Chain A
Amino acid sequence: MGYNPEKPMEGRISDIGPRYYEEFHPPVIKANKGKWLWHEITQPGVLMHKSETGDEVYTVRVGCARLISIEYIREVCDIADKHCDGYLRFTTRNNIEFMVDSKDKVQPLLDTLASYGNSYPVGGTGAGVTNIVHTQGWVHCHTPATDASGVVKAVMDELFEYFVTMSLPAQVRIALACCLNMCGAVHASDIAILGIHRKPPMIDHSRITGVCEIPLAIAACPTGAIKPAKTEVDGKEIKTVKVNNSRCMFCGNCYTMCPAMPLADPDGDGIAILVGGKISNARTMPSFSKMVIPWLPNTPPRWPEVVGAVKKIVETYAADAKKYERVGDWAERIGWEKFFEKCEIPFTDKSIDDYRLAYDTWRTSTQFKYTNAIK
């Protein structure tokens, strides 16, 4: 029965949830669920899991642009039909994994993937750079300060060798969010790329009364920069808001709540780089990423400044960190002043925390190393 707009509730199915995941398990996964003994990475992008029943499953991980067409998904399905009995999965970083149940089937699968040119790069395992967790950007969102897909493509092109090899001290997780809502993982990634604004919102007094719940806009401000105000529009007094520009730090929360307070600006907007976050509990506790580069310009389509900054951090880390050290572990060990020096990042006042609980981030010690990072 087709949908009848005259009777929208008729025949309506709801609250059925997602399909049960076991319906889509490849037979070898289903048979060995909960019985895995050990695994190894046989080559970059290929994993082998051994079961106590003796079964083996080989997983081939390929990079994916995350934003993909149905034609692409059909192509992926064709590959899965040809080699994996129609089964496949996506990882939590939006890579695709094809699984086969014997070693002989791996090479034909790799050959098929290679036959598509660069569409299905095999990699993303072990101590390398895997896929970049990212957001919507200019493709779909209304609050971004930068693009997502474009920057991610530019960065992954430059770091591609790290995707297909495992040459780093530990895995490097890169994430991007196009505004500081931080959808995704930027607040806890080894390297985070974050869209930021640098100008306060513009207030559209003529629209604000109709489209905004003004108390929400006021309450949205983390620094208390927004106050209720009255102004005259077409000779009529209306309720509006006033922004104390010297208290505004351009977070854009008020625009999220109130469409009459836009703040995107092509010259003001850009990208901040954060480093040193992680989410695993391995060796050290999970940590937040810290801001090291306050602003780089938006320079579509290739964002050379951002790409250069990320590459410099990865290369310095790769050359200097010890095995198993994540970027944050490395920076903590050598000291952040040395991190700035080695990565040749000029330290600015913008990196000094000044938000509420800032005190704990300052140095209450005489322990430091002389550095040339502060110019």
Chain B
Amino acid sequence: MPTIEHNASSFEVDEDGFLLKGDDFNQDWVQYVQSVEGIPELTDEHKKVIDALQEYYKKNGIAPMVRILSKTTGFPLKRIYELFPSGPGKGACKMAGLPKPTGCV
């Protein structure tokens, strides 16, 4: 599996660019994902989504369902797509360092 160097950090990722070890997450990772996801500027709203994802994941061991993410952040799905053009799974979860979404996706 490839390793990605960004700033001072290195990350082990899978072929879709998701972190293989959630522990590797840090601000360098956020900046790296921002650069590959085509997000022009990181705002507090991005931060709020990432924090909500990480908090939910730490507490429950799974990524939240889309409705729950919308409810806890107060952002409708449309807004989440505006923040993360690839969507809550491929965009936000990747940036938050959560495991890659599975199932018939």
Name A residues whose Cβ lies closer than 8 Å to a Cβ of B.
5-9, 181, 207, 209-216, 239, 256-259
* Cβ proximity bits B36-64 to A, threshold 8 Å, 1 near / 0 not: 00100000000000000000010011110
What size tier do the contact residues of chain B reach? 10 to 19
Could you say which residues of chain B place their CB within 8 Å of the CB of A256? Answer: 102-104
Q: A5-B38, A9-B85 are in contact. Are A210 and B61 (CB under 8 A)?
A: no
A–B pairs, 16, beta carbons within 8 Å: A9-B85, A210-B20, A210-B22, A210-B99, A211-B14, A211-B20, A211-B99, A213-B57, A213-B62, A215-B60, A216-B102, A256-B103, A257-B102, A258-B102, A259-B100, A259-B102
B21 at the interface (CB under 8 A from A): yes
B19 at the interface (CB under 8 A from A): yes
Q: A8-B85, A9-B85 are in contact. Are A213 and B61 (CB under 8 A)?
A: yes
Total cross-chain contacts (CB, 8 A): 45
Could you say which residues of chain A place their CB within 8 Å of the CB of B19? Answer: 210
User: In the complex, A157 Cα to B20 Cα: how many Å?
Assistant: 45
Interface hits, B58-99 → A, CB 8 Å: 60-63, 85, 98-99
User: In the complex, A257 Cα to B102 Cα: how many Å?
Assistant: 5
Chain A's nearest CB lies how many Å from the CB of B57?
8
Could you say which residues of chain A place their CB within 8 Å of the CB of B100? Answer: 211, 259
Could you tell me if A214 and B85 are in contact, using CB atoms closer than 8 angstroms? Answer: no
Chain B's nearest CB lies how many Å from the CB of A194?
17
Q: Which of B21, B38, B98 contacts A7 (CB 8 A)?
A: B38
User: In the complex, A256 Cα to B62 Cα: how many Å?
Assistant: 15
Could you say which residues of chain B place their CB within 8 Å of the CB of A212? Answer: 99, 102
